[in-house]
């Protein structure tokens, strides 16, 4: 029996893209709920919500990745992550599954907005390749 712990990820969809977030970075995943608008905020900030008495800023992962927003569907979820001692909600189109990757490759550069700054690496599972998001860069960048 190996003592090596395999890192788990949550695979999610934004538009046609599939990305992943390390499971240890996720506080919880909830269904879409009412969000209170914040006037004059940046376009990626959708507002705030009440999460059991805590005020949580909610952002669109689509906007953060430079994609246009779309209407919420029944599959839309808010992934609540911990970032700099606060909770932040990220709106995603769909949460797909919990998974592990057999290989993680360094991100390839040369894609305009410095793709390597958004991703820790590219997870590989068979022929599927999935970008593993670097939350510090996406949320703080």
CA distance 39 to 22: 32
**For residue 101, what are the contacts with CB-CB under 8 A and spacing of at least 6?**
9, 20, 123, 124, 125, 130, 132
CA distance 126 to 92: 24
Reduced to 3 states (helix: H, G, I; strand: E, B; else coil), residue 62 is: helix
Q: Over the stretch 80-116, which tens digit does the pLDDT of each residue have? A: 999 888 999 999 999 999 999 988 888 776 555 555 5
Asked if the model's pLDDT at residue 3 lies above 50, the reply is no
Q: Over the stretch 35-88, which tens digit does the pLDDT of each residue have? A: 999 999 888 999 999 999 999 999 999 998 889 989 999 999 999 999 888 999
């Amino acid at each position: 029996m190996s003592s090596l712990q395999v890192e788990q990820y949550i695979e999610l969809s934004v538009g046609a893209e599939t990305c992943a977030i390390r499971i240890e970075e996720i506080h919880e995943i909830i269904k879409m709920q009412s969000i209170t608008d914040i006037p004059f905020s940046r376009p990626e900030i959708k507002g705030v919500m009440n999460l059991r008495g805590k005020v949580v800023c909610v952002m669109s992962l689509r906007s953060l990745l430079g994609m246009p927003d779309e209407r919420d569907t029944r599959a839309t979820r808010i992934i609540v992550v911990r970032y700099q001692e606060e909770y932040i909600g990220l709106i995603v189109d769909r949460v797909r599954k919990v998974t592990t990757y057999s290989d993680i490759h360094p991100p390839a550069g040369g894609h305009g907005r410095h793709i390597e700054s958004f991703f820790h690496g590219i997870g590989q599972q068979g022929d599927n390749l999935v970008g593993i998001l670097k939350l510090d860069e996406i949320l703080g960048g």
